[in-house]
């Protein structure tokens, strides 16, 4: 796969129960709607800057930014049993069950069938999620962008964000738990996509405009 200059490219609280299979009619609908648009996964630890870059790419290319963290926070604010469960899990820095994650992502994607592409930010958070997404949608993503950033930088950025945005899940103990979980679970995911020749690594400690230029080069290599 052709990648941009300066971009390295390669050749929990999760439920123990597997997600229930979708009804055939619903699954067929999902496969039909999502067979054409670009699907780009954007991985990276909290504070690596992937959300900002996804918003910029979505604006430039007319893509839909599906921010998993934002979807989870919105759901956690709901006065429902699921919302309270998500809130408690996130406060501990643990992983939300795969079934809930896939339901939130697929519902968001299906509500925008006209989109030219989807930037799925913060996904997958484990190998199970990667495999279940392909089972549900019937295809792999077109590319997986991985933002590489040091732990110290991410902790510093997220602590600052927590003070500015008053986010309960951005306290230091939760940040470090999230980072530990991220690093523990990401290696099998990276291996999975490396074997499919879908990985592009971008150093996320450069100037934001340089990072954005590299992201754009990756996207444009797909079109």
Task: Give the containing element (helix H, strand E) for 64.
Answer: strand 64-67
Calpha distance 116→134 (Å, rounded):
19
Report domain extents, the chain: 34-68+98-222
Per-residue pLDDT, 136: 87
Calpha distance 103→105 (Å, rounded):
6
| Mean pLDDT, all residues of the chain | 84
Task: Give residue 41's pLDDT band: very low, low, confident or very high (50, 70, 90).
Answer: very high
Per-residue pLDDT, 30: 59
Distance of CA 47 to the CA centre of its chain: 13
DSSP letter for each residue of 138-162? SS--SEEEEEE--HHHHHHHHHHHH
Percent of the chain with pLDDT over 70: 80
Least confident of 114-118, 155-159, 207-211: 155-159
From the candidate CATH numbers 3.40.50.1360, 2.70.98.10, 3.40.50.300, 3.40.630.30, the one assigned to the domain spanning 34-68+98-222 = 3.40.50.300
CA angle 202, 208, 211 (to 5 degrees): 25
For range 179-199, the mean pLDDT: 94
For range 173-184, the mean pLDDT: 84
Least confident of 8-22, 124-138, 201-215: 8-22
The strand pair at 64-67 and 117-121 is best described as parallel
Per-residue pLDDT, 91: 82
Calpha distance 96→10 (Å, rounded):
29
Task: Give residue 202's pLDDT band: very low, low, confident or very high (50, 70, 90).
Answer: very high
More confident call, 4 vs 89? 89
Edge-to-edge strands, sheet with 117-121: 8-9, 199-203, 143-148, 38-43, 117-121, 64-67
Task: Give the containing element (helix H, strand E) for 40.
Answer: strand 38-43
Calpha distance 195→55 (Å, rounded):
28
Calpha distance 22→130 (Å, rounded):
17
- What is this structure's pTM? 0.79
Other Cβ atoms closer than 10 A to 203: 14
Task: Give residue 119's pLDDT band: very low, low, confident or very high (50, 70, 90).
Answer: very high
Per-residue pLDDT reduced to its tens digit, 11-35: 544 444 555 544 444 555 555 666 6
Per-residue pLDDT, 36: 76
168 backbone dihedrals φ, ψ, rounded to 5°:
-65, -30
Per-residue pLDDT reduced to its tens digit, 121-130: 999 989 999 9
Per-residue pLDDT, 161: 76
Per-residue pLDDT reduced to its tens digit, 56-85: 999 999 999 999 989 999 999 999 999 999
- Interacting residues of 43 by C-beta distance below 8 A, sequence separation 6+: 50, 122, 123, 124, 144, 145, 146, 147, 186, 189
Determine the 3-state secondary structure of 119 from DSSP.
Answer: strand
Residue the block writes with tokens 């993503």? 141
């Amino acid at each position: 796969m052709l990648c941009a200059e300066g971009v390295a490219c390669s050749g929990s609280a999760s439920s123990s129960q597997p997600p229930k299979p979708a009804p055939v009619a619903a699954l067929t609908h999902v496969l039909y709607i999502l067979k054409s648009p670009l699907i780009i996964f954007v991985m990276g630890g909290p504070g690596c800057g992937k959300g900002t870059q996804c918003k910029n790419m979505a604006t430039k290319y007319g893509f839909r930014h599906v921010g998993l963290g934002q979807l989870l926070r919105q759901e956690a604010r709901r006065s429902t049993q699921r919302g309270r469960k998500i809130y408690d899990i996130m406060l501990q820095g643990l992983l939300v069950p795969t079934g809930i994650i896939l339901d939130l992502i697929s519902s968001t994607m299906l509500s925008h069938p006209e989109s030219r592409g989807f930037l799925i930010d913060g996904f997958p958070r484990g190998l199970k999620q990667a495999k279940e997404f392909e089972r549900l949608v019937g295809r792999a993503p077109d590319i997986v962008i991985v933002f590489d950033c040091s732990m110290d930088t991410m902790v510093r950025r997220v602590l600052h964000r927590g003070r500015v945005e008053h986010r309960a899940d951005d306290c230091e103990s939760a940040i470090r738990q999230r980072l530990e979980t991220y690093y523990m679970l990401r290696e099998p995911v990276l291996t999975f996509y490396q074997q499919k020749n879908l990985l592009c690594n971008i150093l996320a400690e450069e100037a934001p405009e340089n990072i954005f230029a590299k992201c754009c080069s990756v996207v444009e290599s797909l079109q």
